[in-house]
Amino acid sequence: MTKISLTVDGVAYTDDVEPRTLLVHYLREQLGKVGTVVGCDTSNCGACTVDLGGQSVKSCTVLAVQADGGEVTTIEGIEHDGVLDPMQQAFHENHALQCGYCTPGMIMACRDLLKNNPKPSEDEIREGIEGNLCRCTGYQNIVRAVQAVAGASS
Amino acid sequence: MTAVEDRPVTAEIGQSRKRKEDYHLITGRTTWTDNMNLPGMVHLAILRSPMAHAKITSINTDEAKGRPGVIAVYIGQDFAETQGNLPCAFAPEGLVNPGAPSLAVGQVNHVGEAVAVVVARTKVEAQDALEGVEVEYEQLPAVLNMEEAIKDGADLVHPNTESNRSYTWAFESGAAGSGEPIEDALSNAEVTVKRRFIQQRLIPAFMEPRSTVVQPIGEGVTMWSATQIPHVLRTLLAATLGIAEQKVRVVAPDVGGGFGGKIVVTPEEVITTLVARKLNKPVKYTESRSESLMSAHHGRDQIQDITITAKKDGTVTGLDVHLLADMGAYLRLFGPSVPVLGAFMFNSIYKFAAYRFVCEGIFTNKTATDAYRGAGRPEATFAIERIMDELANELGMDPMDLRRKNWIKHEEFPFTTVAGLTYDTGNYEAATDKALALIGWDELRREQAERRERKDPIQLGLGISTFTEMCGLAPSRILGSLAFGAGGWEHASIRMLATGKVEVVTGSSAHGQGHETAFAQIVADKLGVAWEDIELIHGDTQSSPKGLDTYGSRSLAVGGIAIVKAAEKVVAKAQKIAAHLLEADEDDLEFEGGSFKVKGSPGSTIAMGEIAFATFLGHNLPDGVEPSLDSDATYDPENFSFPHGTHLCAMEVDTDTGFTKIRKYVCVDDIGTPINPLIIEGQVHGGLAQGIAQAMFEEAVYDEAGNLTTGTFVDYTLPSSSDLPSFTTARTETASTTNPLGVKGVGEAGTIASTPAVVNAVVDALRPYGVDDVQMPMTPERVWRAIHGSEKSERAGAGTTAYGGASTTTSDGEGGAL
């Protein structure tokens, strides 16, 4: 076991973890942060995407020990005082989710995309989130949601 | 008078309401089954067969049992007497069902079959201990090729059957009296085109891996499961395991997609229940994606031999369909019925005089197949829309002209087809005209001609799919006549609360479709209650005790109508009480906008909410009237609904590299009266993505030993955002006349329609290169080989080992008519 200390959604935690424990499993099973989900074993689907130190990561490709000392933001930490994050709001407004399973990772990836490229073209959006799979929406309304946030922030 | 004319002017129906479901999903406050933890809960891991076909000669679990945290290890023999067989609801006369154990006993029949289960304190401990289970196998020859499998002397998948053929299901219009004998059409044909199409094996690939939690309670169990069918599952779990049905509660909490992939009773659900009851502890099993891809059921997988006959003027006369349908190793809940659903759809929108459909269901040493979005109808639509293009090419006709010449005209409805179904309404002309205008068809044809003229390396192809589907599964009598072990009704209850709020209970269990939003829109209009005041209850057999669940685009066209019927009963009950309270004659009341009014007495009104409260109080009700407005309805549809539409695809094909790119995709769907256009559009988008993915990206491939070589998302390539274009979607509205909402269903339309439009577009681009087929998925390699190889059809259809290289053939071996 290895001791790690990190902040998740604004709360400080110190825990013992097995060195092999993936960040996503730490989040779900030790912290109860079950808003972040697992969709594959191969880092293809992106359902587990979270923000680690200002950068979006697939939390299934990060060991919990690698997040030691870091700051993690999950889907559960971006609504503040009852006000949705603009990307959450845009997903709702644009019907950018159906079953909702990919949604936590997708929203985190879309926020990261706009942080790096505030005014993306449609092609840039599609390429920017291609690491996150959605089986329900055909992506069109997800693209619209991102465009809506990008347009609103101009 | 028709149901359509009776439809009232509405306020909520037709509005693009944002979904009630969204908040908890966008904030991560979800209830996926895997999120659940119960006190004392233990975890399962499943050891799966690495062999496609083998006898299990020994299993040693001793080492695994000694591993840290391990509570128990079970093998098939431990449950041989109790596990029963996984149910199959389709049993036509003569069907051979060798049985389907949840945990293998003595023999494994596909890679991924469950062989042993480890129960441990944590999931990680259970998974680690799988390494400690030693299994010895004696390999048997793997049966993988359907055509080989049904030859005399073929190796058998199951030792207790005489052949690998599970069933043969046949329909012939001459014998059925629905048309002329097929033999007449075949022998009198002026033009005959034969093709072999391969419907590759697909994987539903819902994003949420399947998960099941079972809690034993006394003699019974409560199960939470990622399922589309909590009600069906409850009944069948009880029947399979011999538990009294009233002791079983099934809950489908948030379910992350299904697409048919969560429509069966799974081995894992049975195993989890068996273990939970054995240990008398709550147990959780959640599959990994790799386990899901190799053991959750697959879809499609047909070899389609299609013969179409026509007159030289293009009038189609006969359609002869012969399918080989791969069941995989076992019959799942709807597995053998899936290709048979297509029996009524191959003739599609066209007026054939004669029709024959023969389907043989075949066992192989592969994962079982069952429903995948569309289930039988995409396969049928693909075959007819592809062969219509081939016929047009043979005749030298424009493919759209050929379709126009042969489809049912809007004034000919209702129309009884050669397959015996009566289509209530449709307007193929309107949908097609709109689609052609939206895509700019004539301009694209001009560009295509120019590119051909200048031998541009980027060629343009235009593909058509004018489709219909049968939705709203299903009239119970028809299911009975097809030997299904279930009906097709749906149930609803409406509960009027004291404060005027409304609870609507439905047996149609949603997993992404937006029922909570759309059903509330219907109830809001029917009761005149605010949309915000309506709550949908679903997905738990304790709180929504009766239903037949969600599949086959049935939720609205069947479940929605049950809600309408229940609402009508609420209004009828309320009317009696309103008359009493208003001191008026019941017949003098009219109900409008949520209030009863006395005709001709404008001031004398009472709102539904006031009646609800008065009913709750019960102080002043008419004699003999019970103090309740609550009402139930169970609706059994009289007919299917028949959505239709025209899908057009413009495809760029790079003839140097074989790379294909959708330039523009336009679809005009006619799904009847729209309830929520926002949700409809989302359903169409997602359906298109899956249908296009079949055409271009996805295939479950087995190697020669029966290993699934596409067992991760690295190899089984779901389309990403950068693989797909933005679609242009539009609608025409031809209301169904067989239900009071005029609705038809939309969940599967995009998937059913799009696949042939895409393939037709690629083939259209490559006609000048002598190409008349490209096998799906149309990878750049396949497209390139189609253009540059020596044997055009063979190389384009070059199959995987799964099909023994099956490829397109024509009646004269060269590509065309006799």
- B contacts of A45 (beta carbons < 8 Å): 207, 289, 713
pLDDT digits (tens, 9 = 90+) for B242-299: 999 999 999 999 999 999 999 999 999 999 999 999 999 999 999 999 999 999 999 9
Q: Find tokens 């790119």 and name the residue.
A: B661
- Secondary structure of residue B599 in the 3-state scheme: coil
Q: Is residue A103 less than 8 Å (CB to CB) from chain B?
A: yes
The B residues from 565 to 624 touching A (CB cutoff 8 Å) are none
Q: Is residue B480 less than 8 Å (CB to CB) from chain A?
A: no
A79 within 8 A of A89, measured Cβ to Cβ: no
The answer to whether the Cβ–Cβ distance between A74 and B722 falls below 8 Å is: no
pLDDT digits (tens, 9 = 90+) for B398-449: 999 999 999 999 999 999 999 999 999 999 999 999 999 999 999 999 999 9
* Nearest CB partner across the interface for B720, out of A47, A130, A137: A130
- B contacts of A97 (beta carbons < 8 Å): 22, 25-26
The answer to whether the Cβ–Cβ distance between B26 and A34 falls below 8 Å is: no
- B contacts of A18 (beta carbons < 8 Å): 124
The answer to whether the Cβ–Cβ distance between B27 and A88 falls below 8 Å is: yes
Tell me the helices (H) and strands (E) count for chain B, helix number first: 24, 28
CB pairs under 8 A between A and B: 171
How far apart (Å, rounded) are the C-alpha atoms in residues B715 and B412? 48
Mean pLDDT value of segment B321-337: 98
Q: Helix, strand, coil proportions of chain A in percent (round to 5)?
A: 35, 20, 45
* Nearest CB partner across the interface for B713, out of A33, A101, A133: A133
- A contacts of B30 (beta carbons < 8 Å): 34-35, 37, 100
Mean pLDDT value of segment B637-664: 97
- The confidence band for A57, taking pLDDT boundaries of 50, 70 and 90, is very high
Lateral strand order in the sheet of B165-172: B165-172, B354-363, B316-328, B299-310, B191-202
- pTM, 2 dp: 0.96
Two structure tokens written together for A3: 């001791």
The answer to whether the Cβ–Cβ distance between B207 and A130 falls below 8 Å is: no
Does B798 have pLDDT greater than 60? no
Among candidates B225, B287, B214, B215, which has minimal Cα distance to B253?
Answer: B225
- Considering only CA atoms, give the Rg of chain B: 28
Among candidates B275, B287, B289, which has minimal Cα distance to B41?
Answer: B275
pLDDT digits (tens, 9 = 90+) for B693-706: 999 999 999 999 99
Two structure tokens written together for B279: 């240990």
Residue type (1 letter), B503: E
Does B2 have pLDDT greater than 60? no
Q: Is residue B552 less than 8 Å (CB to CB) from chain A?
A: no
How far apart (Å, rounded) are the C-alpha atoms in residues B544 and B536? 10
Does B559 have pLDDT greater than 90? yes
- The confidence band for A154, taking pLDDT boundaries of 50, 70 and 90, is low
The answer to whether the Cβ–Cβ distance between B712 and A37 falls below 8 Å is: no
Residue count (chain B): 818
Q: What average pLDDT does the structure give for chain B?
A: 94
Mean pLDDT value of segment B723-740: 97
pLDDT of residue B795: 44
Long-range (24+ apart) CB contacts under 8 A made by B779-782 are: B779/B658, B779/B696, B780/B657, B780/B658, B780/B659, B780/B660, B781/B658, B782/B658
- B contacts of A110 (beta carbons < 8 Å): none
Among candidates B195, B187, B183, B147, which has minimal Cα distance to B813?
Answer: B195
Two structure tokens written together for B9: 């002017």
How far apart (Å, rounded) are the C-alpha atoms in residues B816 and B174? 27
pLDDT digits (tens, 9 = 90+) for B12-67: 999 999 999 999 999 999 999 999 999 999 999 999 999 999 999 999 999 999 99
B292 within 8 A of B237, measured Cβ to Cβ: no
Residue type (1 letter), A80: H
- B contacts of A79 (beta carbons < 8 Å): 27
The answer to whether the Cβ–Cβ distance between B27 and A79 falls below 8 Å is: yes
pLDDT digits (tens, 9 = 90+) for B603-616: 899 999 999 999 99
Two structure tokens written together for B520: 């509330």
Two structure tokens written together for B555: 């939720």
- A contacts of B35 (beta carbons < 8 Å): 28, 34
Does B811 have pLDDT greater than 50? no
- Secondary structure of residue B596 in the 3-state scheme: strand
pLDDT digits (tens, 9 = 90+) for B183-195: 999 999 999 999 9
B752: closest CA of chain A, how far (Å): 15
Chain B residue closest in CA terms to A36: B28
- A contacts of B23 (beta carbons < 8 Å): 92
B512: closest CA of chain A, how far (Å): 4
The B residues from 221 to 280 touching A (CB cutoff 8 Å) are 254-257, 259
Does B800 have pLDDT greater than 80? no
Chain A residue closest in CA terms to B511: A99
Two structure tokens written together for B781: 């390699």
pLDDT of residue B602: 83
Residues near B520 by beta carbon (within 8 Å), at least 6 away in sequence: B12, B17, B20, B504, B531, B534, B535, B536
- B contacts of A141 (beta carbons < 8 Å): 681-682, 685
pLDDT of residue B803: 40
Q: Is residue B676 less than 8 Å (CB to CB) from chain A?
A: no
The answer to whether the Cβ–Cβ distance between A42 and B688 falls below 8 Å is: no
How far apart (Å, rounded) are the C-alpha atoms in residues A43 and A109? 14
Helices (H), B494-603: 515-527, 561-582
pLDDT digits (tens, 9 = 90+) for A72-121: 999 999 999 999 999 999 999 999 999 999 999 999 999 999 999 999 99
Say whether the ipTM exceeds 0.85. yes
A48: closest CA of chain B, how far (Å): 11
How far apart (Å, rounded) are the C-alpha atoms in residues B763 and B758? 9
- The confidence band for B563, taking pLDDT boundaries of 50, 70 and 90, is very high
Among candidates B146, B32, B58, which has minimal Cα distance to B702?
Answer: B146
- The confidence band for B813, taking pLDDT boundaries of 50, 70 and 90, is very low
pLDDT of residue B792: 54
Phi and psi (nearest 5°) for B42?
A: -115, 170
pLDDT digits (tens, 9 = 90+) for B120-163: 999 999 999 999 999 999 999 999 999 999 999 999 999 999 99
B419 within 8 A of B171, measured Cβ to Cβ: yes
Q: What average pLDDT does the structure give for chain A?
A: 97
- A contacts of B34 (beta carbons < 8 Å): 34, 37-38
Query: Which range (A26-35, B474-483, B555-564) has the least confidence?
Result: B474-483
Does B814 have pLDDT greater than 60? no
- The confidence band for B817, taking pLDDT boundaries of 50, 70 and 90, is very low
The B residues from 151 to 210 touching A (CB cutoff 8 Å) are 205-209
Mean pLDDT value of segment B766-791: 90
- The confidence band for B790, taking pLDDT boundaries of 50, 70 and 90, is low
The answer to whether the Cβ–Cβ distance between B686 and A138 falls below 8 Å is: yes
Mean pLDDT value of segment A119-135: 98
How far apart (Å, rounded) are the C-alpha atoms in residues B465 and B759? 10
How far apart (Å, rounded) are the C-alpha atoms in residues B739 and B700? 39
Q: Helix, strand, coil proportions of chain B in percent (round to 5)?
A: 35, 25, 45
Does B816 have pLDDT greater than 60? no
* Nearest CB partner across the interface for A35, out of B29, B687, B723: B29
The answer to whether the Cβ–Cβ distance between A39 and B207 falls below 8 Å is: yes
Q: Is the peptide bond before B777 cis (omega within 30 degrees of 0)?
A: yes
H-helix or E-strand spanning residue B250: strand B248-251
Q: Is residue A22 less than 8 Å (CB to CB) from chain B?
A: no
Chain B residue closest in CA terms to A20: B124
